[in-house]
Chains A and B, each alone.
Chain A
Amino acid sequence: MGGAISITGMGVICAIGNDSQSVLDSLKRKESGIGPMKYLQSVHTDIPVGEVKLSTGQMRQMLGITGDNPVSRTSVMGAIAVREALSQAGIKNLEGKRVALISGTTVGVMDVTEQYFERMKTEPELQYLPHSNECGRSTHEIAEYSGLGNARCCTICTACSSALNAIMLGADMLKNDEADIVIAGGSEPLSRYHLNGFNSLMILDRQRCRPFDETRAGLNLGEGAAFVVLEKDVPDALAYVSGYANRCDAFHQTATSKDGDGAYLAMSGALAMAGIRPEDIKYINAHGTGTPDNDASETAAFRRVFGDRLPDMSSTKSYTGHTTSASGSVEAVICILAMLNDFVPASLGWSKMIPGGYVPTMGRSGADLDYVMCNSFGFGGNDSSMILSKNRPSGEDAPIMDESCVRVAARKVISDDAELALLKEYLSPMETRRMGKIMKASLLSAFEAMKEAGLEKPDAIVAATSKGMLELSNMFLEEIAQNKEELLKPTLFMQSTHNTIGSAIAIRTGCHGYNITYSQGDDSYYWAERDARMLLRKGEAKAVLVCSFDENLLDGRTKDFKAESIIYTID
């Protein structure tokens, strides 16, 4: 057990380049890839985006995908990045090796669904929606197109921190000897769906984003994919994963807490795992979206961790746009490029300091970066931070307790409409007013299971869903089509990401601990249970709440649903 988690290969495609070398060149030239949309089809042509400068057709060609079946940009961008990563790692023969592909995405294949949404109603053979929210489908496609057909696939949906959480899971699997090689990262295309969603939240800047600037007015969406190859104990690897933490802000579905609680806990946790002090960090790749909210609370969290001595800090979203679920791995690759090439990437667009804030770096060469920190925060307060190092870390991992120590303390299933009225015992009508049946059922199952186990607050929350928030996603797609992308309801969008339920449980229970959502078809629950047991066996939690949920639709509304919460504890 234990051993240094080594990054032996990396691949990236985003607005500033189709591979690592071209991304490095753009960063050094301080060239942003944000501009007018070319491939995304939307009425909002005034919104700048960070598009990959290739059509889906061109990417299909690069991968040699024949036929005319629709393919998601998630899958082709992902496969291009995975291929580059495998090639750099020099991995040709995977026979006899235990290989896992872990991808973070939230859009999944929604970019395909939205193209067929109207036709689906009259052409029953085009039933994309039931699959569209199955993010796991895109991960299987990435495996197929990148020659990893036999890899175990896992998909993580924690909104904008998905890809960083994917790398963490990969590191954990190697530490626990569950795999020999892990390819981990994320892929997220631009979609009309989330462009309109972010627009309804009024957090998109009509100009280029200005992270950490006093006049910042929102983010620019971007797209891309990035993956790293993780192996154990490889000398002279590109970089090493030396610390990480996943924590939850447990504050609001789309807003961040004023003091940046989740961000603070994630950064502190990563430093503790790496066994280093804040002053050892030489560069921070901030989450830095450019929204008034994020940058203020991330600044507050920096203040709590680093005080007045903040290391060089930049947001490279000023180059790539916010690649949402892929941003964690895109930015981890940028961090590795910075370490390997002894430079600090500049923050673009900044001119005026936030009162009491920090000045982001304007870039620096000749920098010896032995430790860098990469922050990735998501809706629902899913906040993660990772520390990468140039040198091989020492330090052994904590021992893992025997499987037989784990107990199921309570289990509660909710699948009947009539039971939902019981939620009144726990929440006021004001608190439940926006909730669909699947949310109500999930929360009720969680509260009832906690009651049965005599548990006030879990230490960690793990969610599992195959299709996510199907009804709300369908309603938002309907609105986009009917209202022609105007005057859309933020209430629908803000609850339509897969991690909505995991974070809602955290908000209602005040649980700031580890929080994750798995979406891998029928295997979703397998991954969730595996995670819960590992957290307990490693002593990272004493009680873990696992909530699995799914719903089926009839005419666009919930027809039936099932939510199950299980409390796992350790003796």
Chain B
Amino acid sequence: MEELILNLKEQIIDALNLEEMTPDQIDNDAPLFGEGLGLDSIDALELIVILDKFYGIKLANPAEGKAVFKSINSIADYIKKNRTK
């Protein structure tokens, strides 16, 4: 799980252009949207691309992402349960 979380954070930093951040600066439990990291709807779409590209998970509807993308931990859980690669 730790390795998955580290990889995921690196993929997020790259895809979301969070150039000035390092993986350890992103709290595993903190909210990613709204008051936490402050991501927006475009970031949610980038997260959907990450799930598809690296883990073979397809989300057809951006609304499905809401529950999944709460925090790093919630994404990692979802990947663990649903990954196809």
Contacts and interface: CB of A to CB of B under 8 A. Distances in A.
A491 interface: yes
A430 B40 CA distance: 11
Could you tell me the dominant secondary structure of chain A's interface residues?
loop
B15 A252 contact: no
B62 A202 contact: yes
A429 B42 contact: no
Interface string A458-498: 00000000000000000000000000000111110010000
Nearest to A430: B38
Interface in B9-48: 15-20, 38, 40-42, 45-46, 48
B77 interface: no
Contact of B46 (A254, A255, A489): A489
Contacts of A429: 19-20
Given A202-B48, A487-B53, A433 B42 contact: no
Interface string B35-69: 00010111001101100110000000111000000
Contacts of A255: 40-41
A200 interface: yes
B45 A433 contact: no
Nearest to B49: A487
A252 B40 contact: yes
Contacts of B38: 430
Contacts of B41: 252, 254-255
Contacts of A487: 49, 52-53
- Which of A252, A292, A491 counts the most chain B CB atoms within 10 A? A491
Given A202-B62, A255-B41, A491 B46 contact: yes
Nearest to A206: B60
Contacts of B20: 429, 433
B17 A433 contact: yes
A490 B17 CA distance: 13
Interface residues of A, number: 19
B42 A254 contact: yes
A434 B18 CA distance: 9
A23 B75 CA distance: 49
A354 to B, nearest CB: 15
Contacts of A99: none
Contacts of B48: 202
Nearest to B60: A202
Contacts of B49: 200, 487-490
Contacts of B53: 487
A433 B18 contact: yes
Contacts of B46: 489-491
B69 to A, nearest CB: 14
Contacts of A217: 61
B31 to A, nearest CB: 14
A423 interface: no
Interface string A247-273: 000001111000000000000000000
5 nearest A-B residue pairs (beta carbon): A433-B17, A490-B45, A429-B20, A202-B62, A487-B53
Interface of B: 15-20, 38, 40-42, 45-46, 48-49, 52-53, 61-63
Given A433-B17, A489-B49, A491-B17, 6 more contacts: A217-B61, A252-B41, A254-B41, A430-B38, A490-B42, A491-B16
